Amino acid sequence: MPDLVTHAFAAYLIIRWWQNPAHRAVFYLGTFLPDLLSRPIYILFPQLNLYTVALHTPITALIACLLLAEFFAAERGKIRWLLCGGAALHYFLDLMQRHLDNGYFWGFPLTWKSGELGWFWPETPLRLIWLWLLGMAMIEVIIALRRRQGRVRREPAPQQGDSSPADRG
């Protein structure tokens, strides 16, 4: 897997334009879900590694997304799609990686064949984190400036004879 900052940046580029911030948070959670499900066990208890192999496959991510969506009080249909969309994005990035031997098992449980595009090692995107963070910061500044401009344009121009708040004081 690439690091989660890289995953977050990819998710950010897609979901930042979505209006509802709560939905955005759900999409981020979906993006992180495949790793949240398997990596803590893999890292903390390596002897349980073989139990986590299946937990980082598309089918278990789909089941985990459907399961997690059941715990939402409202909009479960939309939540399912957001979680699944986030998880799909996660696997899209994982597909680009390379491993020395077996990669991820995309067709589990039907097949144990693995495959990947092999464009970069899992640790390679770490070198670009600063670029992702800078990109996010720049987009946020542009959005804030455009919002401010829009607010200024929407505010009616003061009419002649109107007194300013300072005058009224």
Partner 1 sequence: MSTQRLLRIAVLLLALVGLSVYGKMTFPYVTLQDCLRDPQRFDSTKVAVATETVVHGFIDGGFTIQQMGRIVPVIGDTTGIQVGEFIHLTAIFRQPGVLELQKAYVAKYRRLKIAVSLFSAVAVLVLFFSRFALRRGQFVQRRRHA
Binding site for partner 1 (CB under 8 A): 3-5, 7-8, 21-22, 25-26, 28-29, 32, 35-36, 39, 42-43, 46-47, 49-55, 57, 59-60, 63-64, 66-67, 70-74, 99-102, 108-109, 112, 121-123, 126, 129
Q: DSSP letter at 74?
A: S
Q: Which two three-digit tokens encode residue 85?
A: 């969309």
Q: Considering the complex, state which of residue 70 and residue 167 has its C-beta at the smaller distance from partner 1.
A: 70
Q: Which two three-digit tokens encode residue 124?
A: 């390679």
Nearest Cα neighbor of 4 from 95, 122, 100, 85 is: 122
Residue 75 sits at the vertex; the CA angle it makes with 74 and 79, to the nearest 5 degrees, is 115
Q: Considering the complex, state which of residue 111 and residue 160 has its C-beta at the smaller distance from partner 1.
A: 111
CB 32 within 8 A of CB 7: yes
CB of 157 to partner 1, least distance (A): 24
Q: Considering the complex, state which of residue 40 and residue 161 has its C-beta at the smaller distance from partner 1.
A: 40
CB of 76 to partner 1, least distance (A): 9
CB of 87 to partner 1, least distance (A): 13
Residue 16 sits at the vertex; the CA angle it makes with 79 and 61, to the nearest 5 degrees, is 40
Q: Considering the complex, state which of residue 40 and residue 92 has its C-beta at the smaller distance from partner 1.
A: 40
CB 30 within 8 A of CB 82: yes
CB of 140 to partner 1, least distance (A): 14
